[in-house]
Homo-oligomer: A and B are copies of this chain.
Amino acid sequence: MAENDNMTQGVIPDELLDLRASIDNLDAAIIQMLAERFKLTRKVGHLKAETTLPPSDPAREARQVERMRRLATEAGLEPEFAEKFLAFVIAEVIRHHEAIAESRAAGS
């Protein structure tokens, strides 16, 4: 990685290489936690499809938004970012739930 950096744009300071290595570690951890999160929301999707529970729960989502805004503020992030992040993830969850519903409809 360091050699590539040096080839592509001159000498990269060690401090920058060190920061990038930590960013890469965090990205790997975040992707793995997101994978686990989607595993759980897939289970939620199947559970809701098997029962009479509605696919969306606005009260639950409102609580999630408030909690994420609070957690972001405590962690030194802008609450708006946490809200955008949650919306980004929930959009993906809805895409998964629609795929589950479609595959059930196709199989029935």
Contacts and interface: CB of A to CB of B under 8 A. Distances in A.
Contacts of A40: 19, 22-23, 26
A38 to B, nearest CB: 7
A63 B81 CA distance: 25
A31 interface: yes
A55 to B, nearest CB: 12
Copies in the complex: 2
Interface residue SS majority, chain A: helix
Contact of A75 (B4, B15, B26, B31): B31
Given A30-B33, A31-B77, A71-B31, A8 B59 contact: yes
A13 interface: yes
